[in-house]
């Protein structure tokens, strides 16, 4: 990252949290390309983020004093954009980061003049059962009640979360699916399409004070369709291994039971619960009346498709990033 940009017409001074994450990096690129003056609050030097035109400041987000002294530095800001998220999804981490750190930053931002907040959340919070989902919802509620202008963006699945099996297929192994591979579906959204969508929230008044589910372009895609496309791109006959969801239930129960005495296994039980959730819940808008996921009701944005991305990964033109919560 390089020197701070000067402000001009239409430019805002933007504080960004989570700038080193998958979507944070894409969002910083989009904000900088729109001419905003971007200050990223990061926990360690992150030149690897490689976003020219943004400034980074090292901050302990768990410490309000560090936020003010090292992050805000007595300056004025217009907008807070948060792509912050716990890396593990484990309860303590989620409550400290997805909730606590974001609450601290909201207060610090408001004190520094912020009047608008754009929050990256997740579509799965519409049916919460996991600790990190409750932590995200709790922060959404604090933000909505803050009186600041807000846009809460709840995206569907990211490409990295749907790319974890490419290497095993290249090694000649079958594609793993739960059940028949059609238990769930999602409308995958690319990092840059989502980054641009988040950056556009600064100027789009229609998106103010709204909670917005968002997916990528095209039809909803099942795990089976992902596997079929990957085999076609590799020029091989599709081969699937069907994993019963019951198996995950057994794993969760065993780990949770032993986890009462062994904390490390309690953490593994939560990770297994996260895996089970994504094995059985679609990343689409949930119809509150029918209780069913609705692909048609899930809005689309952008132009980059998962299958084009798969083709680029197979050709070696893109590297598949592993999702932190990838099941396989």
Ligand X SMILES: NC(=O)c1ccc[n+]([C@@H]2O[C@H](COP(=O)([O-])OP(=O)(O)OC[C@H]3O[C@@H](n4cnc5c(N)ncnc54)[C@H](OP(=O)(O)O)[C@@H]3O)[C@@H](O)[C@H]2O)c1
Candidate list 1, 15, 23, 248; residue touching ligand X; CB under 6 A: 23
Tokens 């198996």 -> residue:
247
Q: How far is the CB of 166 from ligand X (least distance, A)?
A: 15
Residue with tokens 């995206």: 155
CA distance 285 to 207: 17
DSSP conformational letter for 8: -
Say if CB 285 and CB 297 are below 8 A apart.
Answer: yes
The nearer residue to ligand X, 255 or 274, going by C-beta atoms, is 274
Q: What DSSP state is assigned to residue 178?
A: E
Cα–Cα distance for residue pair 47/52, rounded to 1 Å:
9
Per CB under 6 A, the list member of 14, 16, 21, 274 interacting with ligand X is: 21
Considering only 10, 43, 170, 250, the residue that binds ligand X (CB under 6 A) is: 43
DSSP-based three-state secondary structure for 79: strand
213-252 positions binding ligand X, by CB under 6 A: none
Q: Is 119 in the site for ligand X (CB under 6 A)?
A: no
Which of 16, 157, 214, 272 is close enough to bind ligand X by CB under 6 A?
A: 157
Question: Which one of 122, 143, 166, 269 is in contact with ligand X (CB under 6 A)?
Answer: 122
Q: Residues 323, 325, 326, 328: is their CA dihedral positive or negative?
A: positive
Structure tokens at 68: 């003010």
Does the footprint of ligand X cover residue 16 (CB under 6 A)?
A: no
Q: Per-residue x/- mask for ligand X, residues 55 to 84, rule CB under 6 A?
A: ------x---------------------xx
Question: Whole-number minimum distance, CB 163 to ligand X, in Å?
Answer: 10
Cα separations in angstroms, 304 against 14, 26, 158, 188, 227: 26, 13, 11, 9, 19
Q: How many residues bind ligand X (CB under 6 A)?
A: 24
Residue 7 or 167 with smaller CB distance to ligand X:
167
Q: Alpha-carbon distance 220 to 298, whole Å? A: 9
CB of 258 to ligand X, least distance (A): 27
Would you tell me the crossing angle of helices 22-33 and 191-200 to the nearest 10 degrees? Answer: 50
| Span from 154-162, 230-238, 296-304, 309-317 in contact with ligand X (CB under 6 A) | 154-162
> Of the ranges 3-11, 15-23, 68-76, 249-257, which one interacts with ligand X (CB under 6 A)?
15-23
Q: Which positions from 77 through 116 interact with ligand X, judged by CB under 6 A?
A: 83-87, 97
Rounded Cα distance, 160 and 135, in Å: 23
Rounded to whole angstroms, how far apart are CA atoms 256 and 250?
10
In a 10 Å sphere around its CB, with 0-12 CB exposed, 13-18 middle and 19+ buried, how is residue 206 labelled?
exposed
Q: In terms of CB distance, is 116 or 121 closer to ligand X?
A: 121
Residue 22 in contact with ligand X, rule: CB under 6 A = yes
Closest CB 9 distance from ligand X, rounded Å: 30
| Nearest CB to ligand X, comparing residues 92 and 287 | 92
Q: Which residue ranges make up the site for ligand X (CB under 6 A)?
A: 18-24, 43-44, 61, 83-87, 97, 120, 122, 155, 157-158, 161, 323-324
């Amino acid at each position: 990252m390089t020197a701070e940009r000067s402000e001009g017409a239409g430019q805002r001074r933007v504080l960004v949290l989570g700038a080193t994450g998958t979507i944070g990096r894409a969002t910083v690129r989009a904000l900088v390309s729109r001419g905003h003056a971007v200050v990223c609050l990061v926990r360690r030097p992150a030149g690897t983020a490689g976003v020219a035109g943004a400034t980074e400041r090292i901050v302990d987000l768990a410490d309000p004093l560090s936020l003010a002294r090292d992050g805000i530095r007595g300056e004025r800001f217009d907008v807070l954009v948060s792509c912050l998220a716990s890396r593990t999804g484990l309860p303590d981490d989620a409550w400290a980061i997805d909730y606590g750190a974001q609450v601290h930053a909201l207060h610090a931002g408001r004190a520094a003049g912020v009047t608008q907040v754009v929050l990256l959340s997740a579509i799965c919070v519409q049916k919460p059962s996991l600790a990190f989902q409750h932590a995200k919802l709790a922060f959404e509620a604090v933000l909505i009640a803050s009186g600041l202008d807000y846009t809460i963006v709840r995206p569907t699945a990211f490409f990295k979360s749907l790319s974890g099996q490419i290497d095993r297929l290249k090694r000649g192994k079958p594609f793993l699916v739960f059940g028949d591979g059609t238990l769930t579906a999602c409308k995958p959204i690319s990092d840059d399409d989502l980054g641009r969508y988040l950056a556009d929230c600064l100027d789009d008044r229609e998106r103010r004070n709204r909670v917005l589910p968002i997916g990528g372009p095209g039809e909803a895609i099942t795990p089976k369709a992902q596997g079929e496309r990957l085999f076609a791109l590799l020029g091989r006959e599709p081969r699937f291994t069907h994993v019963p969801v019951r198996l995950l239930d057994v794993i969760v129960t065993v780990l949770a039971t032993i986890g009462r005495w062994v904390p490390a296994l309690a953490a593994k039980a939560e990770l297994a619960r996260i895996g089970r959730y994504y094995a059985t819940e679609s990343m689409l808008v949930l119809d509150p009346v029918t209780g069913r996921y609705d692909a048609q009701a899930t809005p689309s944005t952008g132009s980059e498709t998962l299958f084009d991305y798969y083709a680029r990964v197979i050709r070696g033109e893109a590297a598949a990033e592993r999702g932190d919560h990838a099941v396989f």
